[in-house]
Structure 1
Amino acid sequence: MLDTIIYDTGATPAVFVLCLGVSMLLGAVIAAFHSYRNRSSKNFLMTLVLLPAIVQSVIMLVNGNVGTGVAVMGAFSLVRFRSLPGNSREIASIFLAMAVGLATGMGYLMMAAVMTFIVGAVSIAIVAAPIGQARELERELKVTIPENLDYADIFDDVFASYSNGAQLVRVKTVNMGSLYELVYHITLKDRKNEKQMIDDLRTRNGNLEISCGRISEKVESL
């Protein structure tokens, strides 16, 4: 069932076209899996569709020539598949597309299909699972206060009412030293009370600038 369709006689034109079609079809499936609850550019999705076919074509061209195969793999190691920083999910999709291309290039079409659907199903299950949902309530809060206001514990009661935890992570002076900007990382109890929390903070800081937003995530690049 998982045997290759390419034998010692080499690949015929019909086999090559079949492998090429399967490669692009599985590439489209990989692109669909990658797009699940994820924002990607059209160029990147096009790369995921075409990459298995490109790798498959190269592998079939060097089939049986060990030296050429090693040289091609060395060339692949020098290629950058992206010009912008990518996250770990994009890297995983690229490696999956390359693995599918290697499998189809050697004639293991059923193995490539099984690998694609198993890895894709696992990735969707992980994305859909309630993992990391606590971060949905995490916020980075920036509060500006006058320089004569003691910020040590002035907002503790407000944070106790509206959050499950608050940590002061940074303090800096602004406006020629006449103001302080306090940066907190907080975990809200309920997103519906976010506006009320900001209103309560405004009564403490003299109605100066306050901003509250998601904590910026580090790029999970490899």
Structure 2
Amino acid sequence: MSNLFDSIFNNATAAVDPLRLLLALLVSLFLGLALSWTYKYRTLYTREFVISLTLLPCMMTLVIFLVNGSLGTSIAVAGTFSLIRFRSATSGSRELIAIFLAMIIGLAAGSGYLLLAILSTLSLLGVWLVLENKQSKADHQRRRHLTITVSEQDSVAEQISQLLDQSCSEIDFISVTTVQAGEQLTLNYEVNMKSNIDDFALANLLISKIENCDVALTKKAKKRKNL
């Protein structure tokens, strides 16, 4: 068990075995691939972000290896958290977890704690997958992102609310956007459909009761394109 906290890099000597550095890079790359696969599981993603997430542990490993000192490591860790804070303005919680875990992999592998990096990463990814599967089987699978586009009418919002109350157990109003110089309104909701209502029934109800209405129902909200 004590080997878990043993580094493969010998800090007592200045010489470094290139094979050990290569091993650390390969381990971080393998863990980065596992992380990116877990991130892609049941989510919308961009190819650029997945590639970056795969290579980030390798780059972090190399940075930590090059600084190779307590002061340098502290500065590198500070830069890591600054990067995460910078991405927090445009990222969801899933992306932040993935970036943070990629940094942890790079820090552990760059410090030489390969066994610790492997065991902790695989354990966290396993918990991630279990929670993802558990949530997909819960009542949250009836939650939808609803977008309604209607022409500007008096009391149209009240009419929509009444219809949603009939078919949904929970309604969260998200936003309203004007289209074509205010001639149309786009309303966004997060709703939980009742057990006896499906997507087609809800869409047909709204279309039949509201004039000039376009409806879009999705299981996931749209991802931002900047990731």
1:197 correspondence with 2:205: yes
Partners of 1:173 and 1:68 lie apart in 2 by 51
Structure 2 gaps, min length 5: none
1:62–1:68 contact (8 Å) kept in structure 2: yes
Match of 2:146 in 1: 139
Q: 1:209 aligns with which of 207, 212, 221?
A: 212
1:112 correspondence with 2:117: yes
Q: Map 1:1-222; keep pairs closer than 5 Å.
A: 1-2=3-4, 3-7=6-10, 8-9=12-13, 11-63=16-68, 65-79=69-83, 85-130=90-135, 131=138, 133=140, 136-137=143-144, 139-141=146-148, 144=151, 147=154, 156=162, 162-164=167-169, 187-189=192-194, 190-191=197-198, 192-202=200-210, 208-214=211-217, 217=221
TM-score by length of 1: 0.71
Question: What amino acid is the match of 2:72?
Answer: T
**Cα 1:20–1:39 shift into 2, 3 Å:** same
Instruction: Say which structure is richer in helix.
Output: 2
SS in 2 for 1:129: helix
In angstroms, what is the RMSD of aligned CA positions?
A: 4.1
1:119-170 CA distances to partner (integer Å, 9 max, x unpaired)? 11111122222356155256354555754x79867984x5565444668899
Q: How many residues align?
A: 211
Question: What amino acid is the match of 1:193?
Answer: A
Using the TM superposition, give the Cα deviation of residue 117 of structure 1 relative to its aligned residue in structure 2, in angstroms: 0.9
Using the TM superposition, give the Cα deviation of residue 111 of structure 1 relative to its aligned residue in structure 2, in angstroms: 0.9
Partners of 2:41 and 2:216 lie apart in 1 by 25
TM-score by length of 2: 0.70
If you compute each CA radius of gyration, which structure gives the higher value, 1 or 2? 1
Structure 1 gaps, min length 5: 203-207
Q: Percent identity?
A: 25
1:85–1:219 contact (8 Å) kept in structure 2: no
1:155–1:201 contact (8 Å) kept in structure 2: no
